[in-house]
């Protein structure tokens, strides 16, 4: 195989060579380099559509890479400090699922925080793993879940010595980091693997003075959303593995669910973005940090908002904080985060990442400039002046401790019945309910529906949160496990 360095982008270079040959296509895709779909060419451009090709010998095959895709994966592993890297075209959802499928089977235990993305619970439905939740502390003022305390992780490991793995968010959506290096040491000492959901942590591998990355901390697997802070196209991701993991085994798990028709546009975007980060990542993310810190300072000077940062660090449940996350507490102006989110979009044409009941997240990354930051700050000042409210409302924490009755898999596939949501108290849920984004479930399959959860769902609905995950799109009814079924579970 040809020798490459971090200055190369093997997949992109192979695509350019292929395009120059003007090969006549008698294979898929059926648009035949755009000739069959001129509207698509008008939308995306001839070069883009012309590179939307199928797997073939000169371009390698994602399911069993031996040439340019393999070279791109080896360069990614080198750039991220991993033993192996896998290009993923099903988003970080597919990375998370492959990560969990690689270590867990039916009835295997996995220790994890409850504030995980729905993809983690989906993976447990697929493989039949049993969750052992470490309930994170909640910052009572901000209403957000924090990281896992070491005492909690130690207790979970000692009470479940047969658990196969510990999963850690690194960082959370809000920028909170657990003590990953110590969790790795503790888990490995008990023969358990450590998995990291790094959907929001690409920059940790290239920035300076940021929280430690999963591979640097010694984790065994990490799912990394390159499209979030790394600059690649939406739906492209990486799965990283440490030296303890079998490359062939992971590839088999990936191929259980990932498409056999991998998009070369997504793979090329991963290839180019890895090259950009390897060559310029430190410089780029230093600028991102400066922009985020500038925004934080300006927003806090408005008054009423709290753009929080490293002052939350307590050495345990907030072991570190990712300062690129511009998380803003909005309660001080009398508005829910989702209300500010809607106002920014509808009144000022500013699209932030998400708003929950008390917080707003503005995602700052390599494509941002100071003028956009200033526009955001100005709009937030205007929102306060025009829309702030006096008084308070019922403060409901973002995290509600679950009571797991049966495994997610058993609940999901059980006989079920649909009930009006008001009649579901005390029943076992067989589907998801979540505010999206961020996609952290309020309810997941196998969990008891409590009065507090029902109040939270209604409050989130009143404030304008987008509720998703249930079969009923309006979340007026919920699927619950048939009570007779519970007797044999």
| Residue-wise DSSP of 431-473 | S-EEETTTTEEEE-TTBB--HHHHHHHHHHHHTT--EESSSST
DSSP state letters, 291-322 = HHHHHHHHHHHHSS-EE--GGG--SSTT-EE-
Based on the domain organization, do 298 and 337 belong to the same domain? yes
Q: How many CB atoms lie within 10 A of CB 488?
A: 7
C-alpha angle with apex 345: 341 to 350, nearest 5 degrees?
100
Residue 133 located in a structural domain: no
For residue 456, what pLDDT is reported? 86
Residue 307 located in a structural domain: yes
Parallel, antiparallel, or unpaired: how do β-strands 237-241 and 221-224 relate?
Answer: antiparallel
CATH number of the domain at 481, please.
3.90.100.10
CATH number of the domain at 332, please.
3.90.1150.10
Residue 318 located in a structural domain: yes
For residue 401, what pLDDT is reported? 75
Surface-to-core class of residue 357, CB atoms within 10 Å of its CB (0-12 exposed, 13-18 middle, 19+ buried): buried
**Would you give the end-to-end CA distance of the chain in angstroms?**
53
Based on the domain organization, do 379 and 419 belong to the same domain? no
DSSP state letters, 168-195 = EESS-TTSEE--HHHHHHHHHHTT-EEE
What Cα–Cα distance (Å) separates residue 396 from each residue in 142, 377, 399, 452?
A: 10, 27, 9, 9
Instruction: Quote the CA–CA distance of 16 and 292 in Å, as a whole number.
Output: 37
Residue 381 located in a structural domain: yes
Based on the domain organization, do 379 and 288 belong to the same domain? yes
Rg for the chain, CA atoms, rounded: 23
Instruction: Quote the CA–CA distance of 92 and 199 in Å, as a whole number.
Output: 6
The parent domain of residue 441 ranges over 408-486
Residue 190 located in a structural domain: no
Q: Output b/e per residue, 210-230; b: 16+ Cβ within 10 A.
A: bbbbbbebbbbbbbbbbbbbb
Q: What is the pTM of this model?
A: 0.94
Low-confidence ranges of the chain (pLDDT < 70): 391-399, 437, 486-489
Based on the domain organization, do 419 and 372 belong to the same domain? no
Based on the domain organization, do 286 and 372 belong to the same domain? yes
Based on the domain organization, do 378 and 414 belong to the same domain? no
| pLDDT (tens digit per residue) in 412-422 | 999 999 999 99
Helix (H, G, I), strand (E, B) or coil at 72: helix
Number of domains, the chain: 2
Residue 373 located in a structural domain: yes
For residue 320, what pLDDT is reported? 98
Based on the domain organization, do 433 and 350 belong to the same domain? no
Residues 104/427, Cβ–Cβ less than 8 Å? no
Handedness of CA 132, 315, 352, 348 (dihedral sign): positive
The verdict on whether omega for the bond into residue 412 sits within 30 degrees of 0, i.e. cis, is no
Helix, strand, coil shares, percent, the chain, to 5: 40, 15, 40
Token pair of 114 as six digits: 């409850």
For residue 367, what pLDDT is reported? 94
Residue 11 located in a structural domain: no
Token pair of 249 as six digits: 């085994």
Parallel, antiparallel, or unpaired: how do β-strands 320-321 and 306-307 relate?
Answer: unpaired
Residue 347 located in a structural domain: yes
Residues 80/215, Cβ–Cβ less than 8 Å? yes
């Amino acid at each position: 195989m040809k020798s490459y360095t971090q200055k190369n982008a093997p997949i992109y270079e192979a695509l350019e060579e292929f395009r120059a040959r003007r090969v006549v296509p008698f294979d898929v895709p059926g648009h035949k380099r755009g000739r069959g779909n001129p509207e698509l060419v008008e939308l995306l451009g001839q070069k883009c559509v012309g590179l939307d090709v199928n797997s073939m010998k000169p371009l390698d095959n994602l399911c069993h890479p031996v040439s340019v895709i393999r070279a791109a994966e080896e360069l990614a592993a080198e750039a991220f400090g991993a033993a192996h890297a896998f290009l993923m075209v099903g988003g970080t959802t597919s990375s998370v699922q492959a990560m969990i499928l690689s270590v867990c089977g039916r009835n295997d235990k996995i220790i994890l925080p409850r504030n995980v993305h729905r993809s983690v619970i989906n993976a447990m439905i697929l493989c039949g793993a049993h969750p052992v939740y470490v309930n994170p502390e909640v910052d009572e003022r901000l209403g957000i879940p924090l990281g896992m305390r070491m005492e909690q992780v130690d207790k979970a490991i000692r009470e479940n010595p047969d658990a196969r793995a510990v999963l850690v968010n690194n960082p959370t959506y809000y920028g909170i980091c657990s003590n990953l290096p110590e969790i790795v040491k503790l888990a490995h000492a008990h023969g358990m693997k450590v998995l990291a959901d790094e959907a929001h942590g690409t920059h940790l591998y290239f920035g300076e003075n940021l929280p430690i990355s999963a591979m640097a901390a010694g984790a065994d697997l990490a799912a990394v959303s390159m499209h979030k802070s790394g600059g690649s196209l939406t739906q492209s991701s990486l799965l990283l593995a440490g030296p303890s993991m079998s490359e062939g085994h992971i590839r088999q798990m990936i191929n259980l669910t990932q498409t056999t028709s991998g998009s070369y546009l997504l793979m090329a975007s991963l290839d180019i973005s890895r090259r950009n980060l390897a060559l310029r990542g430190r410089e780029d993310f230093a600028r991102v940090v400066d922009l985020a810190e500038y925004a934080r300072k300006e927003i806090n000077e408005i008054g009423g908002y709290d753009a929080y940062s490293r002052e939350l660090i307590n050495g345990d449940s907030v072991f570190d904080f990712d300062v690129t996350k511009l998380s803003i507490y909005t309660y001080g102006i009398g508005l829910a985060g989702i209300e500010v989110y809607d106002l920014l979009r509808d009144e000022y044409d500013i699209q932030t990442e998400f708003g929950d009941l008390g917080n707003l997240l503005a995602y700052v990354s390599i494509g941002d400039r100071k003028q956009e930051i200033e526009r955001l700050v100005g709009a937030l000042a205007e929102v306060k002046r025009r829309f702030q409210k006096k008084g308070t409302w019922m403060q409901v924490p973002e995290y509600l401790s679950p009571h797991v009755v049966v495994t997610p898999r058993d609940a999901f596939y059980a006989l079920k019945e649909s009930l009006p949501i008001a009649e579901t108290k005390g029943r076992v849920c067989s589907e998801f309910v979540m505010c999206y984004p961020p996609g952290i479930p309020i309810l997941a399959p196998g969990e008891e529906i409590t009065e507090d959860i029902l109040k939270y769902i209604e409050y989130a609905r009143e404030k304008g949160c987008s509720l998703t995950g249930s079969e009923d799109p309006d979340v007026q009814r919920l699927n619950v496990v048939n009570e007779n079924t519970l007797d044999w579970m």
